[in-house]
Amino acid sequence: MDFKKQTYTDHVVTYIKQSILDGTYKPGSKVKELVIAKKLSISRAPIREALQILIKEGLVVWTPQKGKFITKLDPKQIRDSYFTGGILEAAAVCSVIQKYTARDIKSLEELAEKMRLVAENGEPIETLAPLDDKFHQILFSRIDNELLLEFCRRACQGISKFLLFRYWIQLYSVEEVYWRHKNIVDSLRKGDVYELEGCIRNHYLDAGKRMSEICRRETEK
């Protein structure tokens, strides 16, 4: 795989995330730097940097004397993560609601419209993962509280689209995903703090409940 030197770390992050999505790395799998280095034909330094980024995002955990592993969640952890993440993201976004520009809102609308087209064209729900990721990145972009951002990311961001992707694709139809995001955009455009707070919080709460239930059923099989 050919990488430009300055983007090695970013490419490793993308590679690991994609490996989680396609099932190469399953929850609880050990992440071996040497294996990745050989696979991508790069040194181990950017791999270590990439793993530190993924640890901060909550996708990878480090266990002393054992190594680094893809995070594994149980139903209660899923429910708790989304409950907490919804409260945090809703509070964070609403605290800076006046900072979102017309361009921000337009970008969110364009992403929601792309989601609608995915539904209209009958494309698989997997197509929505990068769109959803960009959507929440824009929401996070105006938040200048780094501690709060870190807690938000660790609670939910990334987990919904990577660790729990096999559940995520079972939660909603493509059209439902579009409407869930459009409602957030509409609330933000109106500048209604209370409506926006409830919309984001419920966005996560409902997904967490559904995910934890799917996970519970699978663990009982």
CA distances to 77, 93, 173, 176, 180 from 122, rounded to whole Å, are: 33, 32, 10, 13, 18
Question: Which CATH fold topology does 5-70 show?
Answer: Arc Repressor Mutant, subunit A (1.10.10)
pTM score above 0.85: no
Beta bridge partners of 62: 68
CATH number 1.20.120.530 given to 75-219: yes
Could you read off the pLDDT of 80-120 as tens digits, one per residue?
888 999 999 999 999 999 999 999 999 999 999 999 998 88
Question: How many angstroms separate the CA atoms of 163 and 165, rounded?
Answer: 6
Q: Dmax over Cα atoms in the chain, in whole Å?
A: 52
Distances (CA, A) of 92 to 44, 77, 147: 36, 22, 11
d(CA 22, CA 43): 24
pLDDT digits (tens, 9 = 90+) for 131-182: 988 998 999 999 999 998 888 877 765 566 677 777 777 788 888 989 999 9
pLDDT value for 158: 55
* Mean pLDDT for the chain overall: 88
Per domain, the residue ranges of the chain are: 5-70, 75-219
Q: What is the dihedral of CA 75, 173, 118, 14, to 10 degrees?
A: 10
Q: How do the residues of the chain divide into helix, strand and coil, expressed in percent and rounded to 5? A: 70, 5, 25
pLDDT in tens, 33-53: 999 999 999 999 999 999 999
H or E element: which one contains 81? helix 75-95
